[in-house]
Structure 1
Amino acid sequence: MYVTPAHLADGSDSLKELSELYGVDAPLLAAVIAGGDTGAWPADDVAAASEALASIQRFIVQADGEVDARLAQRGYPLPQDAAQFPILTVWARAIARYHLHRQRDKTSEETGRIERDYRDALRALDQVAAGKLSLGVNDPLAPAPADPDDPGTGSTRLISNERMFSRKTLGAL
């Protein structure tokens, strides 16, 4: 997995968003996501929070699938290691948040930002799939740097004649 429920709930604003989406108490949702003690809440509330977590996990699976589909176009072995390429977590989080908020009827500045992040993530993944963008350091499919001695690599090389006027050619002037 490139993103986890904990990634989506990271920060008070993110946790608040999720709890509002599902109508669940934020501290309860945080406890369910963390696998913590839920004994202080009524069983019905805990069941609702568990259902919310299951829904969040379905959206995460969908987001991971979208990331993998684009990486597969380029020929990456799947799944990639999110610890090695943390940008995958950023992109998968943006995609999962978009799908989570798609069910929301309200349009606000926040949903506009979520849509922008989603489009940016897809655009970046499409560039990775086309070989125009690297996943970062140690990317196994990153294009090799241009070789200055190979004229076919797209590098520019300047060649000129030797200097005409130098201290040797002008003598002791």
Structure 2
Amino acid sequence: MYVTPAQLADGADALNELAELYQIDPPLLAATIAAGDRSRWTPEEIASADAALDSIVRFTLQAGGEIDARLAQRGYPLPQDPAQFPVLAVWGRAIARYHLHRQRDRTNEETGRIERDYRDAIRALDAVVAGKLSLGAGDPLAPTPPSDPDGGAVRFSSQPRIFSRDKLEGL
């Protein structure tokens, strides 16, 4: 799993967004995700929160599956460690949020950002598959830069000088 429900709900806006999606009290959803005390809520509310968490977990697993499907095309051993390559958690979050919001009205600005983040994550994963982008430091399949026959030396060239001391000596 590249992104956890806790990472998906990290931050007040993200937690409120998830709670609104599932029509659950944000503190209850936070307690459910954190396996905290839920004694102040009714059994019906707790059951709704549990169902929401199950749904969130399914979407995070689906996001991980999409990432793995692309990484497998390049030959990466799976699953990769999101602690070693944190960009996988970022991409996983974008993908999971997109799938969580499929049912929402697609005309508001926030949904537009969610779709943009999803497209950016997919493009980045496709660039990794094509060997144009690395997962980060320690990437076992990182693209190698083209070799430089000059060893990185800087060279300059120009036309011969029109005005020089020799040519302007008599002036």
Normalising by the residue count of structure 1, what TM-score does the alignment of the two structures yield?
0.85
Letter in 2 for 1:82: P
Residue 94 of structure 2 aligns with which residue? Answer: 94
Question: RMSD value over aligned CA atoms?
Answer: 2.1
1:32–1:49 contact (8 Å) kept in structure 2: yes
Q: CA deviation at 1:46?
A: 0.3
Q: Once the two structures are aligned, what percentage of the paired residues are identical? A: 69
1:66 aligns with 2:63: no
Letter in 2 for 1:142: A
Point out the more displaced range, 140-149 or 108-117.
140-149
Residue 28 of structure 2 aligns with which residue? Answer: 28
Give per-residue Cα distances to partners, 1:40-94, cap 9 Å, x unaligned.
1101000000000000001111100000111111100000000000000000000
Residue 84 of structure 1 aligns with which residue? Answer: 84
2:28–2:41 contact (8 Å) kept in structure 1: yes
> 1:114 & 1:13 partners in 2: Cα distance?
13
Q: Show the 5 A alignment for 1:70-149.
A: 70-105=70-105, 107-149=107-149
SS of aligned partner of 1:138: coil
> 2:127 & 2:47 partners in 1: Cα distance?
41
> 1:131 & 1:150 partners in 2: Cα distance?
24
Structure 2 CA distance for partners of 1:156 and 1:123, relative to 1, 3 Å: farther
Give per-residue Cα distances to partners, 1:92-134, cap 9 Å, x unaligned.
0000000000111352100000000000000000000000000
Normalising by the residue count of structure 2, what TM-score does the alignment of the two structures yield?
0.86
Q: CA deviation at 1:27?
A: 0.1
> 1:73 & 1:159 partners in 2: Cα distance?
42
Give per-residue Cα distances to partners, 1:144-169, cap 9 Å, x unaligned.
34443489xxx898699xxxxxxxxx
> 2:12 & 2:144 partners in 1: Cα distance?
42
2:106–2:112 contact (8 Å) kept in structure 1: no
User: Could you list the runs of 5+ residues in structure 1 that have no partner in the other structure?
Assistant: 161-173
1:148–1:157 contact (8 Å) kept in structure 2: no
Bigger helix share = 1
SS of aligned partner of 1:90: helix
Residue 167 of structure 1 aligns with which residue? Answer: none
> 1:43 & 1:35 partners in 2: Cα distance?
15
Letter in 1 for 2:8: L
1:29–1:49 contact (8 Å) kept in structure 2: yes
